[in-house]
Amino acid sequence: LRFSVHGVLADQKADESSMDEEQGSASAAPATPSRLDEKRQQKAQRKQQRRAKAAAAKAAASTSAAASDDAEDGSDEDDGTVKIEYKISTIPNAGDGLFMVSGFALKGTVLLQEEAIAIRRPEAKKIMNSPKWKGLHPVIQSSGNRFLDIRKLLLYKANHMEASSPRCNCFTSQVGPARLVLTAKRDVRAGEELLWEYSPTLPGWDD
């Protein structure tokens, strides 16, 4: 009987020692989240990412729409802008000509303003008598001994048309010592070729 009691006491002590070890081990080990908590966190992260993507897509769509509106506004403004282009003339055997490719020009609208090269009579005569330029009106007499070389001007690319013709839609005048302007003689619509009567002289300009 005495042996049995001692055996029971020994077993109890062993059980208590084992329980103490388990409790100590449990308290020493760091707490880790359960798999359920991990799944909840992952789900919340995915939901947050979806919301961020949706917000970014909405912002991009708004920016694109604003840019489209700006482009439309710009195109509306460009519709009224006079644009001039150099291309094949509608006049047979005339080569290239000058066209108003967009916009609408009312009578009196200035289509071009350009600076010619001021020269004197000897140089003007030399140009006008050269085989390359003879009869093509490359020089305009401003007054007296003053002449303007217009060979490099865009307005010189516009073809000649007699002022009495209904096709003659613009004219050239001098507004400065060497500045020439091409002005609409009547209303001019997009697509029309710009034609003016070449004249060897222009009204004088007073400095």
pLDDT along the chain (207 residues), means of 10: 47 54 51 69 79 74 56 50 91 92 92 95 95 92 90 93 94 92 95 92 63
Contact 96, 87 (CB under 8 A): yes
Residue 187: what pLDDT? Answer: 96
Alpha helices in 80-175 (DSSP H): 121-128
CA–CA separation, 90 vs 96, rounded Å? 8
Residue 49: what pLDDT? Answer: 79
CA–CA separation, 94 vs 86, rounded Å? 13
Residue 5: what pLDDT? Answer: 46
Tell me the whole-structure pTM to 2 decimals. Answer: 0.60
Helix and strand numbers, DSSP H then E, in the chain: 3, 12
Residue 53: what pLDDT? Answer: 77
CA–CA separation, 137 vs 55, rounded Å? 67
